[in-house]
C-alpha cells in the first residue's frame, strides 16, 4: 500500500506485537500508544506539519502575508485568503460529490504519478513567495493589486485542495495506533513557524512561504506508492456503504466543523476590527508560543489518558476544543482593552478542533468504510469555506456598527458565538455520535480485525451467516445497519445474533468485543 519496504516494516512490527501479546507476561505487551520516529513516520510528521502550517499561515492575520497598509492584512492578505479558501473548499466538495475520484491518486502496483502532486506543490510555493513579495511592495489598495492577489489565491487553492486530499488518504491508510502520536505532534509543530515568522523580514518570509509546500511534497514523496482510495477502504467497501447513516454522520461532522471554523474566524476578526487598538506586534510571537505550549500540554495529557485507559477517546479532543472555543468567545468583551487572552485562547480552540476532525476522519473511514475522498472533501471543504464566511460576517458587522458602539456590541457577539458552538456540540455532532466512531477494539490493528473474527467464529462453530453478522457487530454496527447491509429482515438479524451469542456464551455486544480482545491481554 505504502511502499514495499515500509509495508514489510509495518507487518513485521505488527507480528512482533501479536507475538508479545500471546505471551503470558503482561509486561511484555507493547504500549497502547507509542511513536517510533523512523524514516516514514518522520516524513509523515514533518510533511503534514509543513502543509498545516502553510495553510494556517495563509489564514492567520499574523502570517507571512500580513502587510503594513491595513492591520490584519487588508490589501493583499484578505483577497488572497478569501479566494484561496473559497475555491479550495469548492474543489474539495466537488471531489467529495463526484462519483469518480477527483485529483486521482495512483492505484496499488502503478508507478506513482507525482507529476500532478509536484505541479500543485510548486503552485503553492510560487503563490506563497509571490504573495509575500506583493504584500511587501504594496502601498495602496487598487484593482491591479487586488486582481494579482486573487490570482495568487486561486493558485494556492489548487495546492490546498490537492494536498488536503492526499494527506487525508495517506493518514487514513495508517493504523490509528501508528499515527495518532505523530499526527498530534505535527499539529503542535505547525505553530512553530508562526513564532519564527514574527522575527523574519520579507526575504525570510518568502523562504518560509516557498519552502513549506516543497517540504510537504517531500513528505508525500517518501511513500513510494501513495495509498489509493480503494486501498484505504478496501475491507468490504461498496458505494452503498456511504449511504444512509454513514452519509448522515459525515454530514454532521462537516456541519459541526463549519460552525466551529466560522466562530473561530469570526472571533479572530472581531478581535482585530472591533477593539480599541491592535495587539502590539511585539507580542505576536508570545501569542503563538502560548498556543504551541497549550496545544502540546493538552494533547500530551489526552494521549496519556488514552494510554492509561487503553482506549481511543476522540471525544476528549472535541470537549477540549469546545471548552476553549467557549472561553475564547466569552472573553470577547475583555478583548476591547485586553486583546491577548481572547486572541490566544481562540487559536487553541482552532488547533484542538483540527486535531479532533483529522482523527474523526480516520474513524469514519475505518468504522464506516466511507471512501476517504468523500470524508476529507466534505469535512475540510466546508471548513475552508466557513473561514472566509466568518471573516465576511465580522467585517460586515464592523461596517454596520459605529466605532463607538464596538465595545457595547462585543458581549452580544460573544454570546452569539457561544450559542452557535453549543448548537454544534449538543445537536449537530453530539458526543453520543462520537462514541459510535471511536474504535472499541483497542488492541487490534486495521488489518487483523477480520482475521481475528474468523478465528473466533471457527473456534465456536458459527455458521457463515452468523460469521458475517459477528464481524459487523465487532465493528460496532447496530441491528438496523446489519439489516440494510445484508438485505435481511430485522427479525432474522436478531435471531442470528441470539444464536451466535449463545454459541459464544455472551449476552451483550460489549462482551463480544471483550471476547475478541481476550487473547491479546
The predicted structure's pLDDT at residue 404: 54
Burial code (b: 16+ CB inside 10 Å, e: under 16) for 358-394 equals: bbbbbbbbbbbbbbbbbbbbbbbbbbbbbbbbbbebb
Sign of CA dihedral 394, 346, 67, 88: negative
Which of 8-12, 151-155, 279-283 has the weakest average pLDDT?
8-12
Which of 15-29, 176-190, 456-470 has the weakest average pLDDT?
15-29
pLDDT band for position 323 (cuts 50, 70, 90): very high
The 10s digit of each residue's pLDDT in 21-71 is 333 333 344 466 766 677 777 888 999 999 999 999 998 888 888 765 445
Question: Cα separation of 23 and 25, whole Å?
Answer: 6
CA angle 419, 420, 423 (to 5 degrees): 90
The predicted structure's pLDDT at residue 117: 85
The answer, yes or no, to whether residue 121 has pLDDT greater than 80, is yes
Residue 132 contacts residue 211 (beta carbons within 8 Å): no
pLDDT band for position 278 (cuts 50, 70, 90): low
Question: Cα separation of 513 and 515, whole Å?
Answer: 5
pLDDT band for position 517 (cuts 50, 70, 90): low
Rounded percentage of the chain residues whose pLDDT exceeds 70: 77
- The whole-number average pLDDT for the span 392-400 is 85
- The whole-number average pLDDT for the span 137-166 is 90
The predicted structure's pLDDT at residue 112: 42
The answer, yes or no, to whether residue 389 has pLDDT greater than 60, is yes
The winner for highest mean pLDDT among 58-67, 218-227, 254-263 is 254-263
pLDDT band for position 4 (cuts 50, 70, 90): very low
Per the model's pLDDT, the better-predicted residue between 232 and 188 turns out to be 188
Residue 320 contacts residue 352 (beta carbons within 8 Å): yes
The predicted structure's pLDDT at residue 20: 34
The answer, yes or no, to whether residue 176 has pLDDT greater than 90, is no
Per the model's pLDDT, the better-predicted residue between 76 and 71 turns out to be 76
The predicted structure's pLDDT at residue 217: 93
Tell me the pLDDT of the chain averaged across its residues: 79
Which of 42-56, 296-310, 374-388 has the weakest average pLDDT?
296-310
Task: Transcribe 364-415 into DSSP letters.
Answer: HHHHH---HHHHHHHHHHHHHHHHHHHHHHHHHHHHHS-GGGHHHHHHHHHH
Question: Is the whole model's pTM more than 0.85, yes or no?
Answer: no
Question: Pick from 60, 43, 298, 63: which is nearest to 188 by CA?
Answer: 298
Residue 314 contacts residue 434 (beta carbons within 8 Å): yes
Integer distance in angstroms from the first to the last C-alpha of the chain?
29
The predicted structure's pLDDT at residue 305: 87
pLDDT band for position 340 (cuts 50, 70, 90): confident
Which of 42-46, 341-345, 402-406 has the weakest average pLDDT?
402-406
The predicted structure's pLDDT at residue 345: 92
The answer, yes or no, to whether residue 238 has pLDDT greater than 50, is no
The winner for highest mean pLDDT among 21-30, 217-226, 314-323 is 314-323
pLDDT band for position 440 (cuts 50, 70, 90): low
Specify the DSSP class assigned to residue 70.
B
Q: H or E segment at 139? A: none
- The whole-number average pLDDT for the span 439-443 is 51
Amino acid at each position: 500500500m505504502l511502499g514495499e519496504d515500509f509495508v514489510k516494516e509495518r507487518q513485521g512490527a505488527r507480528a512482533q506485537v501479536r507475538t508479545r501479546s500471546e505471551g503470558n507476561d503482561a509486561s511484555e505487551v507493547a504500549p497502547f500508544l507509542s511513536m517510533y520516529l523512523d524514516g516514514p513516520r518522520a516524513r509523515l510528521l514533518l510533511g503534514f506539519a509543513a502543509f498545516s502550517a502553510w495553510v494556517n499561515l495563509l489564514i492567520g492575520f499574523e502570517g507571512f502575508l500580513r502587510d503594513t497598509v491595513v492591520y490584519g492584512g487588508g490589501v493583499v492578505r484578505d483577497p488572497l485568503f478569501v479566494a484561496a479558501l473559497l475555491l479550495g473548499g469548492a474543489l474539495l466538495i466537488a471531489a467529495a460529490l463526484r462519483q469518480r475520484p477527483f485529483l486521482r491518486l495512483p492505484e496499488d502496483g502503478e508507478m506513482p504519478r507525482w507529476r500532478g502532486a509536484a505541479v500543485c506543490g510548486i503552485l503553492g510555493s510560487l503563490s506563497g513567495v509571490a504573495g509575500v513579495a506583493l504584500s511587501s511592495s504594496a502601498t495602496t489598495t487598487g484593482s491591479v493589486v487586488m486582481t494579482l492577489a486573487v490570482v495568487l489565491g486561486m493558485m494556492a487553492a489548487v495546492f490546498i485542495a490537492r494536498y488536503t486530499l492526499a494527506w487525508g488518504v495517506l493518514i487514513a491508510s495508517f493504523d490509528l495506533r501508528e499515527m495518532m502520536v505523530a499526527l498530534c505532534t505535527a499539529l503542535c509543530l505547525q505553530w512553530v513557524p508562526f513564532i519564527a515568522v514574527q522575527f523574519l523580514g520579507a526575504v525570510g518570509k518568502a523562504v518560509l512561504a516557498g519552502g513549506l509546500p516543497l517540504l510537504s511534497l517531500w513528505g508525500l514523496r517518501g511513500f513510494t506508492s501513495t495509498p489509493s482510495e480503494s486501498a484505504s477502504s478496501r475491507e468490504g467497501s461498496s458505494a452503498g456503504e456511504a449511504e444512509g447513516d454513514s452519509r448522515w454522520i459525515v454530514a454532521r461532522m462537516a456541519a459541526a466543523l463549519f460552525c466551529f471554523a466560522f466562530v473561530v474566524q469570526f472571533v479572530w476578526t472581531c478581535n482585530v476590527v472591533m477593539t480599541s487598538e491592535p495587539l502590539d506586534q511585539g507580542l505576536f510571537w508570545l501569542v503563538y508560543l502560548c498556543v504551541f505550549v497549550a496545544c502540546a500540554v493538552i494533547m500530551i495529557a489526552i494521549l496519556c489518558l488514552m494510554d492509561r485507559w487503553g482506549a481511543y477517546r476522540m471525544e476528549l479532543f472535541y470537549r477540549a476544543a469546545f471548552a476553549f472555543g467557549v472561553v475564547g468567545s466569552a472573553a470577547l468583551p475583555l478583548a476591547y482593552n485586553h486583546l491577548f487572552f481572547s486572541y490566544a485562547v481562540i487559536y487553541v480552540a482552532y488547533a484542538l478542533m483540527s486535531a479532533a476532525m483529522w482523527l474523526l476522519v480516520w474513524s469514519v473511514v475505518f468504522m464506516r468504510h466511507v471512501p476517504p475522498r468523500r470524508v476529507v472533501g466534505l469535512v475540510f471543504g466546508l471548513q475552508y469555506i466557513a473561514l472566509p464566511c466568518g471573516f465576511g460576517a465580522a467585517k460586515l458587522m464592523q461596517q454596520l456598527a459605529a466605532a463607538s458602539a464596538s465595545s457595547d456590541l462585543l458581549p452580544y457577539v460573544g454570546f452569539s458565538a457561544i450559542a452557535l458552538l453549543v448548537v454544534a456540540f449538543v445537536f449537530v455532532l453530539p458526543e453520543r455520535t462520537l462514541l459510535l466512531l471511536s474504535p472499541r477494539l483497542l488492541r487490534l490493528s486495521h488489518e487483523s480485525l477480520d482475521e481475528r473474527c474468523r478465528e473466533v467464529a471457527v473456534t465456536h462453530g458459527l455458521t457463515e451467516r452468523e460469521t458475517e453478522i459477528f464481524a459487523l457487530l465487532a465493528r460496532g454496527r447496530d441491528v438496523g445497519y446489519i439489516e440494510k447491509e445484508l438485505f435481511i429482515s430485522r427479525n432474522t438479524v436478531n435471531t442470528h445474533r441470539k444464536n451466535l451469542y449463545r454459541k459464544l456464551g455472551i449476552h451483550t455486544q460489549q462482551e463480544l468485543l471483550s471476547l475478541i480482545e481476550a487473547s491479546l491481554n
